[in-house]
Each structure stands twice: as C-alpha cells, then as structure tokens.
C-alpha cells in the first residue's frame, strides 16, 4: 500500500488501483506542508496488519505477518494510564476508549514508518491508518486527547498531528475543554464559579444566618483550594501532558486566574467570619442588656413585693397594737372605774344579839362574823 501527501492540508489520499504518481514529502515539526513532490518520487510503503488489542491512547498490538507487534503511534502523546509509578492522568481512559472504538479488535490497519522503526522499548513506531485511510495519530490529537511530540528523527507525521492539535485547541475539546473537570481550564473555571457563588451567598440578618453563609463559603473555599493545588500540580513541571497541552502564556494566565480566585474567596470567607463575629457580639451584648434589664425588673418586682409584704405586716401589727392598746385602755378604765366605785360592805349575817337590848354602832371583827359595841 502507498500514501501520497499533497496540498496545504496534508490530507491522505486513498490509493486506488491506478496509483497516482505523487510522492510524500517529509515535513519537519512545526512547518507547513509543502507542495506535491515530483511525479516520479517513490510512494511510501505501508504494511497491512490486523488489530489485536488497544493498550492505551497511543499504543496498540497488531497481528503483522502472524506475529503480535506492539505499535506506538508516532508524533502524538496521550495521557498516561499504564505507568505503575504514575496515577492515571486526565483523559487517559478516554483516550484509550477513543482508540478502542476507532480501531476495534479484528479491524484492518496500515502501518507507515519513518526514519527510526523502533523505540528503546522495542515498540514499532508508525503512523497508523484505519480502513477509511484516516491517520489515527492525528485523529487522537483532533479529539483533544493527544499532544504533538517528536521522538528522535521521526517527524513525518508532525504536520497532520500539529494541524489536528490546533483544531482541538480552537474547538476547546478534550484536554483544552473548559467543561471536562480534570483539565486545567475547567479547574480554573470551576474555581471562579465557586468565587461567584461565594460572592452571591446571602448573609441574612442574624449571627446564625451569617454562620450558615460562612459554612457555605468555607465549602467553596475548600473547592477552590483543591482546584488551585491541582492546577499548581498540573503546571508544576514540563514533563507532564497537562503542562505540554498549554502555551506559556496560557499557563501564566491560568495560574494568575487560579491565584486570584483563591485570594478572592479567602477574602470573602474572612469578611463573612468577621461579619458573623460582629453580629454575634452585637447579639451577645443585646442579650446581656436584656438579661440585665430583666434582672432589674425582677429585682424591682421582688423589692416591691417585699415592701408590700412589709407594709401588710406593719399594718397588721399596728392594728394588733391598736386593738391591744384599746383593750388595755378598756381594762385600765374598767379597773379605774372599779377602784373609784364606793365600797358597800355586805350585810352581816343575822346573828343572835349577844348584847341584848344594844342598838348602837357595831364594830365587826375581821371576816365580819362577830362584832362588839363601838
């Protein structure tokens, strides 16, 4: 099989029974496609193979001449899923699934090679074309699931991969999406959305309502902090795909946006905490004043009640004293009346007259029972 590269779009033309006498032109990384080569240039040879299985987004196993061969797609790098020393990277599983759907087991592919046929791991390096003559190296990049790279002297497939990469960036798909949660643009966007939510969080009019707002914003603070940490980790070194997927200007802008979101939401949280403290202090002071007023009211009522009771007791005592005095006065008066009344001696008992014929005055002995002539 043969492949001819022509035009500024570097589009692959299917080989028909009557092969077109045009040649592929090797284009260095970053350059634009050149005009068609001379008609007598030799076409690029391809090997036909059958897909056995897909390993990840840029690696598969094919049956080539009844031998299983591991093929590494040239000039494209997809997020890691198989490295035992690294976590599964953002969109790594999606890249693997994309290649599995595009090249299911049993499908026919064609392999086209460049200068170096194998890498240090013994994998065959190739451009892989599907049954529709689509260069899968570029299709992976077009879906935003791969980044253009150059391995050694192999640069043949960089132009179509670069073109597909730019298309993915312009369409904001895959690694460049603002809606796929694990991408740096999406993480920064989520942080900024959290900041907007924090700014709109109602504070109410009470300390409890302010405390509820603090709790809501604190949860958003954690979201922003985690996003900022993830952005920092993604953009920390140049040996990861999240770093490579962005330009220096984009990395700088995203870092600045992430830092601004973090600073803004922490400021908002601190403001709400201060507001909560102020409202709590005001409510505590109002409660203290109210409690003090209530205590004074209760004390006044108690004093009033005590005075009323004292007045009642005093009134009862005065009445008792008056009654006692009146009684004493009555008794005294009675005694005085009794003492001032003329004493009338009782009539002596009738006795026989020992002094016969005596009718003069009588002097009674004590007890009034006997007498003698006075």
CATH number of the domain at 51, please.
2.40.50.90
Shared domain check, 125 and 225? no
Shared domain check, 52 and 156? yes
Of 292, 317, 345, the residue that ends a domain is: 292
Shared domain check, 139 and 60? yes
pLDDT of residue 243: 81
Among residues 3, 44, 46, 72, which one is catalytic? Answer: 72
Shared domain check, 201 and 117? no
Shared domain check, 247 and 198? yes
pLDDT of residue 238: 66
pLDDT of residue 153: 93
Is 142 inside any structural domain? yes
Shared domain check, 165 and 253? no
Shared domain check, 193 and 160? no
Is 31 inside any structural domain? no
Shared domain check, 211 and 141? no
Is 10 inside any structural domain? no
Catalytic annotation on 80? yes
Buried b or exposed e, range 307-343, using 16+ CB within 10 angstroms: eeeeeeeeeeeeeeeeeeeeeeeeeeeeeeeeeeeee
What tokens were used for 202? 């109602």
Burial class (CB in 10 A: 0-12, 13-18, 19+), 250: middle
pLDDT of residue 5: 33
Catalytic annotation on 72? yes
pTM exceeds cut of 0.75 = no
Q: What is the dihedral of CA 190, 192, 196, 197, to 10 degrees?
A: 30
Of 127, 143, 176, the residue that ends a domain is: 176
Is 318 inside any structural domain? no
For residue 159, give its domain range.
45-176
Shared domain check, 190 and 149? no
Shared domain check, 126 and 55? yes
pLDDT of residue 369: 73
Among residues 3, 44, 46, 80, which one is catalytic? Answer: 80
Q: Which residues of the chain have pLDDT under 50?
A: 1-39
pLDDT of residue 232: 86
Based on the structure, what is the number of domains in the chain?
2
Shared domain check, 200 and 120? no
Among residues 15, 123, 134, 362, which one is catalytic? Answer: 123
Is 68 inside any structural domain? yes
Shared domain check, 154 and 237? no
């Amino acid at each position: 099989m043969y492949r001819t590269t022509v035009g500024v779009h570097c589009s692959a033309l299917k080989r028909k029974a009557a092969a077109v006498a045009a040649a592929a032109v090797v284009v260095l990384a970053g350059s634009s496609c050149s005009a068609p080569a001379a008609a007598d240039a030799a076409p690029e040879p391809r090997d036909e193979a059958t897909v056995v299985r897909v390993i990840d987004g840029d690696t598969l196993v094919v049956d080539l001449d009844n031998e299983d061969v591991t093929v590494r797609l040239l000039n494209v790098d997809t997020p890691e899923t198989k490295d035992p020393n690294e976590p599964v990277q953002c969109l790594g599983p999606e890249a693997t699934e994309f290649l599995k759907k595009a090249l299911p087991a049993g499908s026919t592919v064609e392999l086209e090679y460049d200068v170096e046929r194998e890498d240090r791991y013994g994998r065959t390096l190739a451009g892989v074309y599907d049954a529709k003559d689509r260069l899968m190296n570029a299709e992976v990049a077009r879906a935003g699931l791969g980044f253009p790279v150059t391995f050694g002297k192999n640069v043949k497939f960089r132009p179509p991969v670069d073109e597909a990469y730019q298309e993915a960036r312009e369409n904001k798909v895959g690694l460049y999406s603002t809606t796929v949660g694990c991408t740096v643009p999406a993480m920064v966007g989520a942080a900024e959305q959290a900041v907007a939510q924090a700014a709109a969080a109602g504070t109410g009019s009470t300390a409890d309502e302010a405390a509820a707002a603090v709790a809501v914003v604190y949860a958003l603070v954690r979201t922003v902090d985690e996003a900022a940490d993830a952005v920092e980790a993604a953009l920390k070194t140049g040996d990861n795909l999240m770093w490579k997927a962005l330009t220096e200007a984009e990395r700088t802008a995203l870092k600045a946006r992430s830092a601004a979101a973090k600073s803004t939401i922490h400021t908002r949280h601190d403001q709400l905490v201060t507001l909560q403290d102020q409202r709590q202090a005001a409510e505590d002071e109002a409660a203290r004043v109210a409690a003090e007023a209530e205590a004074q009211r209760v004390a006044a009522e108690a004093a009033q009640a005590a005075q009323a009771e004292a007045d009642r007791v005093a009134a009862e005592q005065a009445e008792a004293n008056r009654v006692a005095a009146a009684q004493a006065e009555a008794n005294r008066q009675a005694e005085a009346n009794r003492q001032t009344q003329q004493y009338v001696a009782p009539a002596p008992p009738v006795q026989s007259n020992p002094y016969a014929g005596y009718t003069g005055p009588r002097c009674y002995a004590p007890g009034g029972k006997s007498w003698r002539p006075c």
